[in-house]
Structure 1
Amino acid sequence: MTRAAATAIGFTAILLWALLALFTVGSAPVPPLQLNAICFTIGGAIGLVWCAARPGGFARMLAPGWKVIAFGTTGLFGYHLLYFSALRVAPPAQAGLIAYLWPLFIVLFSGLLPGEKLRAGHIIGALLGFAGAAVVITGDGGGFTREWALGYGLAFACALTWSSYSVLSRRLGTAPSEVVTLFCLASALLSVVAHLALEQTAWPQGTLGWASMIALGLGPVGLAFYTWDIGMKRGNIQLLGTASYAAPLLSTLALVLADVAKPTEWLAASALLISLGAALAARASRRAAKLTSPKSKSPTG
């Protein structure tokens, strides 16, 4: 597989994640843990079919060991539980935008790793991203609404969870993409147990609701994990990282086109600020990498 092909495959994950909020809304009133269980079961089934079709696929799926599996399961399970919960108790467009602070947090947290440091671009980008979150929470002249405070808090925790997972995953090294199958299946099992203990079972309403739930498991909470993993390991990471900052805009646009969210100037401003903040912070990281790379140093040192 060429680098360009892997990059194109990875980009499909961004397009699928742009539909995450829309399909989550459509799957109501299925509770978060039950939705987690169903979607990850579908996502795990996709992985099993893929492993069966590839020689040695199941061996590669089990190769990384329990620490990697436990870490990946925690990241996927935690992120989606928080995300589904946030969109059940707060306006989906607003909660979704707050959750999409994760690209910005990834850049900020990576700047705290050994050998890295935060720069002015990181700080400015963070301020723009937080300004976007403030706009979406307090916009339309309504100020902060306690009714949706829990949802906004869950969305913020969601962004922190995925960004922390992404940065910490660097310490585990590379693992075969097939292991994502176990992440999904283990997350599904955890969700089933927690759902039976904590939630009342509910099913989607009508054909559209069922289609949304199935599409959620097939795409944003299924195929996207595998295509993103391939893109990260074999494609152009810088290009994919930059493209991911369009996700808040694409997600908001999908909700507006589906008439789930109103196209207000506050929503547009928030999406632009969050995307711009993440892109600016990423640009600071790329410039720092160029300055510290061996090629950027003169022959005389």
Structure 2
Amino acid sequence: MPVLAALVTVVLWASAFVGIRALGEHFSPGSMAFWRLLAAVVPLTVLMLIMRRRGSAGASGAQARPWIPRGRALVSVLVYGVAWFAGYTVVLNWAERHLDAGTAALLVNLAPILVAVAAGLFMGEGFPRHLVIGMTIAFAGVVLIATGGSATADAHADWLGVVLGIAAAVLYAAGVLIQKSALRTVDALTATWLGAVAGLVATLPFLPVAISEMADATPGAIAAVVYLGVGPTAIAFSTWAYALARTDASAMAATTLVVPAIVIVLSWVLLGELPTGVGIVGGVLCIGGVAIARQVFVRQAPARASRGAKRQARSSGDGLDESRSASPTGRR
């Protein structure tokens, strides 16, 4: 089930890159983020009500789980909601005004390396050789992407877009790390719903512009932005949180390496956009660098067992569950 949930997530997220690019002429970055989050919060709230009612009916006198987590868990969910649902979405929308969808997806998928860097800086995992080599290769790929441009006349790629794409990757990586911490005590649906609410509140300053742009939008554009909220946000973030709660953050981050390939195909078919040959080579270097940094291709069973034992010692059993599911999900 975690593997299936991860597959649903990557397909829906890939479609989001194409949808954002197509909607750029109808909605500004902040306005698009607001409507997308509103379209996500509505079905998530309905689902929360249904699950809450079922949980209360089946509790049989047991204490029901509170709607809102408390203490550090609540802070973690709110922070990741603002950083990922709001910040990442707005920055990615802005980036895709300067990048084609495929190039944006390639840059965002630097996030697994950033997760590894954060682990080295703040979690005592250090900077092993494979991480340094992978970072160097990925950085070379970013330079090629920035200089490669786009093969389509109206789909340019410039340095502002590259910077915004990297900023989106930073916010994405931060969201993964903070969310993983929150999921230790908060269930996936509650974390997704409350994170989306926090993101929606953070985008309220864009409400006046959003209303104005919605009034001028075509029915097709309205349907597309609703799809972004229901599919790549409400459904995909729920399946992501479900899978993330059952594996480790680095393995789930590596799973998204397949997203750029899907995006490039969809962008080519639906939008007629492609990166240049130089940009594609840069993208291959980025993905290859991430794969090397995360050791995607060299995860052997003994290594998994060793890592699982170490995590078990640190987290009294939680790490064992992660080690059992990290390898299959990472290979996907």
- Partner residue, 1:299: none
Following superposition, the deviation at residue 16 of structure 1 comes to: 0.9
Matched, 1:68 2:76: yes
Pairing of 1:151-230 with structure 2 (within 5 A) = 151-172=161-182, 173-177=184-188, 178-196=190-208, 201-203=212-214, 205-230=217-242
Structure 1 131/95 Cα, relative in aligned 2: closer, same or farther at 3 Å?
same
Aligned residues: 287
Distance (whole Å) between structure 1 residues aligned to residue 3 and residue 200 of structure 2 = 28
TM-score by length of 2: 0.75
Following superposition, the deviation at residue 186 of structure 1 comes to: 2.4
Q: Is the 8 A contact 1:36 1:77 kept in 2?
A: yes
Following superposition, the deviation at residue 140 of structure 1 comes to: 5.8
Structure 1 217/206 Cα, relative in aligned 2: closer, same or farther at 3 Å?
same
Letter of the aligned partner of 2:79 in structure 1? Answer: F
Considering Cα pairs closer than 8 Å and 6+ residues apart, tell me whether 1 or 2 has the greater RCO. Answer: 1
Q: Secondary structure at the match of 2:274?
A: coil
- Partner residue, 1:273: 285
- Partner residue, 1:45: 42
- Partner residue, 1:11: 7
Distance (whole Å) between structure 2 residues aligned to residue 134 and residue 87 of structure 1 = 18
- Partner residue, 2:330: none
Following superposition, the deviation at residue 78 of structure 1 comes to: 0.9
Distance (whole Å) between structure 1 residues aligned to residue 178 and residue 247 of structure 2 = 20
Letter of the aligned partner of 1:42 in structure 2? Answer: A
- Partner residue, 2:88: 79
Following superposition, the deviation at residue 9 of structure 1 comes to: 1.5
Following superposition, the deviation at residue 257 of structure 1 comes to: 2.0
Structure 1 60/16 Cα, relative in aligned 2: closer, same or farther at 3 Å?
farther
Q: Secondary structure at the match of 1:201?
A: helix
Structure 1 segments unaligned to the other structure (5+ residues): 296-301
Q: Is the 8 A contact 2:15 2:263 kept in 1?
A: yes
Aligned-pair identity (%): 19
Structure 1 270/211 Cα, relative in aligned 2: closer, same or farther at 3 Å?
farther
TM-score by length of 1: 0.82
Structure 1 150/267 Cα, relative in aligned 2: closer, same or farther at 3 Å?
closer
**Alignment counterpart, residue 28 of structure 2, candidates 27, 31, 37:** 31
